[in-house]
Amino acid sequence: MKYTEQCFGPVAGILLVIGAGGAFNKVLLDSGLGVKLGEILTSLDMNSLLLAWFVAAIMRFSVGSATVSMMTSAGIVLPMLPQYPNLDPAIVCLAVGSGAICFSHVTDSGFWIVKEYFGLTVQGALKSYTAATCVASLTAISLTLLIAQIL
């Protein structure tokens, strides 16, 4: 029982973040904003996977949480999928996930964990950790685009 009680704190935090992302996603869908954003974004002459990556990266920069940005981006990107019938939804998930790992900064709890664990200054964490997440994101979308060409 003691171990179970110790686990509730971290699990509750994770569930709250996921719940907030789901709620924000539901607001986007129910308000029609997700569909409208999807229509506007589809009108851009842009690769659909890059578009999904871009939406997720902007959401990550805005809200900080990778989980919330993935769930919110899914609500925005989902209405666009019927316009790309040959696009595998699994590849779109990879594009959204790769965008959601970009731009970790001061609004991200992981940023503070890394900063504290390594004893970095905020500026040092921005220069190292944020830059590393951007490189990881760009690498991931590049590999996703490669996989999309192969499949």
What are 101-140's pLDDT values in tens digits? 998 888 777 888 888 888 899 899 999 999 999 999 999 9
Q: Rounded to an integer, what distance in angstroms lies between the CA atom of residue 16 and that of residue 37?
A: 26
pLDDT mean across residues, the chain: 82
Q: pLDDT confidence of 83, banded at 50, 70, 90?
A: confident
Angle, in degrees to the nearest 10, between helices 33-43 and 2-31: 70
* Residue-number span of the structural domain to which 101 is assigned: 2-150
What number of residues does the chain have? 151
The 10s digit of each residue's pLDDT in 2-57 is 776 776 766 676 667 667 666 766 776 677 766 666 667 667 777 889 989 998 99
Number of domains in the chain: 1
